[in-house]
Amino acid sequence: MTLTYLKKHTAYARIAMAQGRRERAELYGRVVFFAVILGVFSSLWRAVGEAGLPASGDPRALVWYLAATEWIMLSAPQIHLEIQEAIRRGDVVYRLGHPASYVMAEFAAGLGATALRMPFLGLTAFGCAFAFTRWTPPLSAIALFIPFAVLAAALLVALYLWIGLLAFWLQDVSPVFWVTQKLMFVFGGLMLPLAMYPSAMQKAAAFTPFPVMLFAPASIVLGTGLVRPVILARDLALWGGVMALVVQWTYRRAAAGLTVNGG
Amino acid sequence: MTRWVNTLRFARALVTTNLKAALALRGAFVMQALFMVLNNFTFFVFWWVLMRRTPTLRGWRLADIQVLFGVVAAGYGLTVTLAGGVRYLGQAIEDGALDTLLTQPKPVLLHALGLRLQPSGFGDVLSGLVFILWSGQVSWRTAPAVALAIAASALACAACGIVFFSLAFWVGRVETAARQLWELLLTFSLYPEPLFGGALRLALFTVLPAGFVGYLPASVVREPSIQNMSMLATGAVLYFTLAVLVFDAGLRRYASGSRFTTFG
């Protein structure tokens, strides 16, 4: 991987960031949605606490946990939609001839959009979590969580990229996205830490990349010691490698089977 | 009277045409509907896990949440099935795509709403009905209440969509904001109303009527009473009437986009 190769693909990231800066409505909408979701869940956890039954966690910590997982989820742009449209319209054909890998270009663009969103949504996440709970986890926990959140968001971008590539066969990948997203909610422990799920579900989740995307990084904020940073780094690297192989394989199969009509 | 009959016939023709178009790609239709069912059931796992640990939440049990979920899913599914064009109304206004509809001798709003059908809506309706039946809170005697609840939820949902996307008449490019407002409406409607208090609860029955999309219809299913049913029906009809008035007011401001397009 030469410097030229990196510069080439970094340009796609910069373009995506510039586009994102102009199209702010989407970002503002996510900020509002984020604040609303944290408000709803802070009410929910208060109600759970009032019911007097253990929810395996301090309600305030659970709000911060949700802020952490939602930060990762909402920061990753849904690039599968753009890839799907490019494939449907046939625009992808023009990209194949470019002196840049289509897959790497899309991944770089996704990372660029993520880099633009993360600071805004991070401020929203932690600002709202503090406003609703009047409490913060140890700053060292938040500081340790942030780099893992960035890596997890990058892995999520790769997942969306793979879903988008399925449009070569499916044309409409929305159903795949819906189910993948909901599986991520469940097996990734988006709203409830995975430790609160039945053990059978926890075991099943271990075979998916979703826990390392959401539950594991956000658990650092909970401060339970359930997740060791070294193990998490290893798991992120492993799943990153798996995702890279899957994406490349899918793209090669798609490009090999592509029939280009017309001049 | 003849005019109303003709309008109903036209609405039926729109739905039939959309259905035929959707069923033409049977595989894609089934996949969308099936995956939406899967999507809804997977999402509900969160409530199942939570309510195993907390059997009641401010008076709400798992069965109550099943009814709420079911009503909202079925109502939303009905909206995007019968009036799927609502999600594209803002874009149509902005792009000047209403020009073609204005030349037709049929109500513009009805035509715009009925232009599309979302196959996943069938999955929403199906999963909604399963949730309601699975809750154990309904019987054959309460079937009319269930039908009213779903219809009212769909009417309120469609009304909100019409109002949000019609903002394009005044504000212009409003697609993203309107879509996110609509998603906010659905988000609030999926959570038990006792979680919200004070000013927010008032807002959820007025400016963002998630209460008419979720809570009130669910109450009608759980405890059908003449009072509840009347309040629900009145609220849903009022909101829809307001939505039609907003659209008509916006249409008077509409300027042609001089857009060339194919239609049909």
What ranges do the domains of chain A cover? Answer: 3-257
Residue range A28-40: mean pLDDT, rounded: 89
pLDDT of residue A95: 80
pLDDT at residue A148 is higher than 90: yes
pLDDT at A261: 55
> What is the DSSP-derived secondary structure letter of residue B211?
I
Cβ proximity of A157 and A76 under 8 Å: yes
Whether A180 contacts A163, CB under 8 Å: yes
pLDDT at B81: 95
Highest mean pLDDT among A189-193, A197-201, B127-131, B189-193: B127-131
User: Are the beta carbons of B250 and B108 closer than 8 angstroms?
Assistant: no
CB-based contacts of B165: which residues, under 8 Å, 6+ apart?
Answer: B86, B87, B89, B90, B93, B174, B175, B178, B182
Predicted confidence band at A263 (pLDDT cuts at 50, 70, 90)?
very low
Mean pLDDT of B27-48: 92
Q: What is the maximum span of chain A, computed from C-alpha positions, in angstroms?
A: 70
* Position A90 pLDDT exceeds 60: yes
Rounded CA separation A32/A116 (Å):
17
Residue A240 has pLDDT above 50, yes or no: yes
Residue B226 exposed, middle or buried by CB count within 10 Å (0-12, 13-18, 19+): exposed
Q: How far apart are CA A81 and CA A75, in angstroms?
A: 15
pLDDT range class, residue B63, cuts 50, 70, 90 = very high
pLDDT for A126-136, tens place per residue?
A: 999 999 999 99
Tell whether the model's pLDDT for residue A8 goes beyond 80: yes
Q: Work out the mean pLDDT of chain A and round it to a whole number.
A: 89
Residue with tokens 């819906």: A178
Output the pLDDT for position A257: 78
Q: Give Cα A216 to chain centroid, integer Å.
A: 13
| Mean pLDDT, residues B135-161 taken together | 94
For residue B43, give the nearest of A172, A182, A198 by CB distance.
Answer: A182
| Closest to A110 (Cα-Cα) out of A180, A240, A13 | A13
- The proportion of chain B whose per-residue pLDDT surpasses 70, expressed as a percent, equals 97
pLDDT at residue A109 greater than cutoff 70: yes
What's the average model confidence in pLDDT over A43-56?
Answer: 75
Tell me how many degrees the CA angle A76-A163-A207 measures, rounded to the nearest 5.
85
- Chain B contact present for A85, CB below 8 A: no
CA B209 vs CA A96, B92, B173, B230, B236: distances in Å: 48, 24, 23, 17, 9
* Residues in a beta bridge with B60: B57
- Is 80 exceeded by the pLDDT of residue B189? yes
How would you class B5 by CB atoms within 10 Å of its CB: exposed for 0-12, middle for 13-18, buried for 19 or more? exposed
Q: Where are the alpha helices (DSSP H) in A76-196?
A: 79-89, 92-96, 102-133, 139-165, 167-170, 174-187
Which ranges constitute the DSSP H helices of B25-61? 26-53
Task: Say which range, A244-248, B69-73, B206-210, has the weakest mean pLDDT.
Answer: B206-210
pLDDT confidence of residue A5 = 80
- For the cut 80, the answer to whether the pLDDT of residue B60 exceeds it is yes
In 3D, which of B63, B68, B67, B16 has the Cα closest to residue B193? B68
Helices A229-257 and A102-133, axial angle in degrees (round to 10): 140
pLDDT at A47 over 70: yes
pTM summary value:
0.88
Interacting residues of A7 by C-beta distance below 8 A, sequence separation 6+: none
Which one-letter amino acid corresponds to residue B142?
T
- How far apart CA B94 and CA A256 sit, in angstroms, is 40
The CA distance from B192 to B203, in Å, is 15
Residues of A in contact with B180 (CB under 8 A): 29, 32-33
Facing residue for B177 by CB, picked from A29, A40, A54: A29
Chain B contact for A171 (CB, 8 A cutoff): yes
Q: Are B118 and B78 in contact (CB under 8 A)?
A: no
Read off the pLDDT of each residue in A216-238 and give the average, rounded to a whole number: 90
- Residue A122 pLDDT greater than 50, yes or no: yes
**Per-residue confidence (pLDDT) for residue A22, from 0 to 100:** 84
- Return the number of other C-beta atoms located less than 10 Å from residue A50's C-beta: 12
- Which of A11-25, A248-262, B2-16, B236-250 has the highest mean predicted lDDT (pLDDT)? B236-250
Chain A: nearest CA to B248, how far in angstroms? 26
Are A108 and A6 contacting, i.e. CB atoms less than 8 angstroms apart?
no
| The predicted structure's pLDDT at residue A245 | 96
Q: A47 and B180 in contact by Cβ < 8 A?
A: no
Chain A positions in Cβ-Cβ contact with residue B34 (cut-off 8 Å)? 175
Distance of CA B165 to the CA centre of its chain: 13
Give the model's pLDDT for residue A142.
Answer: 93
State phi, psi for A101 to the nearest 5 degrees: -65, 125
Q: Which two tokens stand for residue B154?
A: 């769909």
| Maximum average pLDDT range among A16-20, A70-74, B194-198, B207-211 | A70-74
Confidence band, pLDDT 50/70/90 cuts, at residue A99: confident
pLDDT at A227: 84
Best to test chain A binding among B45, B191, B215 (most A CBs inside 10 Å): B45
Mean pLDDT across the stretch A29-37? 89
Distance of CA B130 to the CA centre of its chain: 18
Beta bridge partners of A23: none
Q: Rounded CA gap, B161 and A155, in Å?
A: 34
Chain A residue numbers with beta carbons less than 8 Å from the beta carbon of B201 are none
Residue A260 has pLDDT above 80, yes or no: no
Query: What are the CA-CA distances from residue B9 to residues A146, B2, B12, B85 (Å)?
Result: 59, 10, 5, 18
Instruction: Give chain B positions within 8 Å (CB) of A192.
Output: 46, 49-50
Token pair in block for residue A112: 């660029």
Q: Is A48 in Cβ contact with B49 (below 8 Å)?
A: no
**Rounded CA gap, A199 and B25, in Å?**
41
Which residues on chain A are in Cβ contact (under 8 Å) with B195?
40, 43-44, 47
